[in-house]
Chains A and B, each alone.
Chain A
């Protein structure tokens, strides 16, 4: 195989068709960038999940009168509930947070905001904070055991709250994957079309090649390399786009929640690691598309 021959053919092919090549590269880049965004969303969801996995608690809020009367869970209602929970094998530990402690935490959480000023200790419930030993079945067991018991006001599963965040991230992921898919279809069609146009503009060359007995590698490789180059250049552009997007939008967008530790921040390493994946993905998809097109539509 003579590499200078193939190189020259590829260069001519790409140049002869500049507008098409640019369209092909851009579409591929957008598709891959969306795919990359989706992959970052998945990554964030995963790391968020592991961030919360051992932190999540079930809070059993006590009624107003129990909360007000019992400051250390020493009275029968509260200690009864606590004992019941602690006796369950699904529960790891139970801690009591008194009305006063809740108020302190509330003040810290909303420091500087007007809601902190209007809140009074009496308006906050005392809670039993339950850490689960069994994340799967524990929550339901606690709910069943506590529901309707004397002294219990509500049961809050933190995972319901965090679930909303996951729903949001999952939504981001699904939307970007869907868009990436649509763009990918557009990119595939463009690549396929470009290969066909490219083969058509080079039909005299290809015809001569076939007649003089060039092997399939010689006749097809220039087209395949053109397609793969498109995929690679598209992937590089997509990677650059993701890095730019990280500093331009994502950092701002996530600044609030990421700083509070609600979700882990997306670092430049996350972006680069994801971008690296786009290279082989882009090259492979473009290469396969080119190959299939040649087999189906082009007599080479």
Chain B
């Protein structure tokens, strides 16, 4: 038996979600876009192409306490539905890149847009709206230890004022999507690392964000579990959600063959679709 649930997306349209086929299957919506190795992307979408979701224009971030910029004139744009790896050694600016998108911090120079929002210029009271369109996961999961799996996911909806009825309907759906059906009443400490990260992903995705940002989501996981998490992120990407994942895990990047943006000392040193980790420099 197949049940159809309709989940509103941020575009105002509806994303059909097929449930109950036992595999948590989602109708896949792979983005169709031109792919060419080694291209340098320019800002602005030509008519008929997929809209740009994230755009950084010559973004520089100087932390007060540091002499060299954490990001140095970075220009990157990401289309809707893309899967982008953000790679580079520790300290190269990956986390800063993600923090700026979330408006955890503001750039020193340059312009950032997410969807139609000018991130740096966003007034404080509008910041929650930006963040409601972005899901985030981290290396350290950041689950609430005193809430169940279901409670953790529900929390994300409660605090943005979603009605209880919606929460009761949507949370089981998303838990099934991430492969945690039947574990809604477990506490986080009863779960493996991989399962905890699935909870975090469920929480990030439950409000159907436009963009999912992941900062080294497999950093605490063993290779097999990491592969499972990657499959899950791919599945989420296939729903049309743009995914930007910071990592320095070679094998993951190499096996996925997705777009790679490489940072070094805050500068973009490579931006190619279907990239691998250490090649092309």
Contacts and interface: CB of A to CB of B under 8 A. Distances in A.
Contacts of B128: 213-216
A204 interface: yes
A211 interface: yes
Contacts of A210: 131
B129 interface: yes
A171 interface: no
A187 B163 CA distance: 38
Contacts of B159: 5, 208-209, 212, 214, 218-219
A280 interface: no
B132 A218 contact: no
Contact of B131 (A1, A204, A211, A216): A211
Interface string A199-239: 00000110111111111101100000000000000000000
Given A210-B131, A212-B132, A213-B131, A218 B161 contact: yes
Contacts of B145: 204
Interface in B141-180: 142, 144-145, 155-156, 158-161, 164
Given A204-B142, A212-B132, A218 B160 contact: yes
A250 to B, nearest CB: 48
Nearest to B158: A5
B54 interface: no
Interface in B91-145: 102, 125, 127-134, 136, 142, 144-145
B156 A2 contact: no
Contacts of B144: 204-205, 208
Contacts of A204: 142, 144-145
Contacts of A205: 144, 155
Interface string B71-98: 0000000000000000000000000000
Report whether over half of chain B's contact residues are helix, strand or loop; otherwise say mixed: helix
Contacts of A215: 125, 128, 160-161
A213 B132 contact: yes
Nearest to B131: A213
Given A213-B128, A213-B131, A214-B128, A208 B158 contact: no
B205 to A, nearest CB: 11
B213 to A, nearest CB: 10
A209 B152 CA distance: 11
Interface string A98-115: 000000000000000000
Contacts of A209: 159
A213 B130 contact: yes
A208 B207 contact: no
A1 B203 CA distance: 20
Contact of B102 (A2, A208, A211, A218): A211
Interface string B176-205: 000000000000000000000000000110
A216 B207 CA distance: 19
A208 B161 contact: no
Contacts of A214: 128, 159-160
B131 A208 contact: no
Interface string A1-38: 11001000000000000000000000000000000000
Given A2-B158, A218-B159, A212 B142 contact: no
Contacts of A219: 159
Interface string B16-38: 00000000000000000000000
Contact of B161 (A1, A207, A216): A1
A210 B142 CA distance: 12
A235 to B, nearest CB: 30
Contacts of A2: 158, 161, 164
B202 to A, nearest CB: 12
A207 B200 CA distance: 13
B257 to A, nearest CB: 30
A2 B154 CA distance: 13
Given A213-B128, A213-B132, A218-B161, A207 B156 contact: no
A85 B204 CA distance: 92
A208 B125 contact: no
Nearest to B130: A213
Task: Identify the interface centre among B125, B130, B161, B203: most chain A CB within 10 Å of its CB.
Answer: B161
B266 to A, nearest CB: 24
Given A212-B207, A213-B129, A215-B128, 19 more contacts: A5-B159, A204-B142, A205-B144, A208-B142, A208-B159, A208-B203, A209-B159, A210-B131, A211-B136, A212-B131, A212-B132, A212-B156, A212-B160, A212-B204, A213-B127, A213-B130, A213-B131, A216-B128, A218-B161
Pick the 4 closest A-B CB pairs, nearest first: A213-B132, A213-B131, A214-B159, A213-B128
30 contacts: A2-B158, A5-B158, A204-B144, A205-B144, A205-B155, A208-B142, A208-B144, A208-B203, A209-B159, A210-B131, A211-B102, A211-B131, A212-B159, A212-B203, A212-B204, A212-B207, A213-B127, A213-B128, A213-B130, A213-B131, A213-B132, A213-B133, A213-B134, A214-B128, A215-B125, A215-B128, A218-B159, A218-B160, A218-B161, A219-B159
Interface of A: 1-2, 5, 204-205, 207-216, 218-219
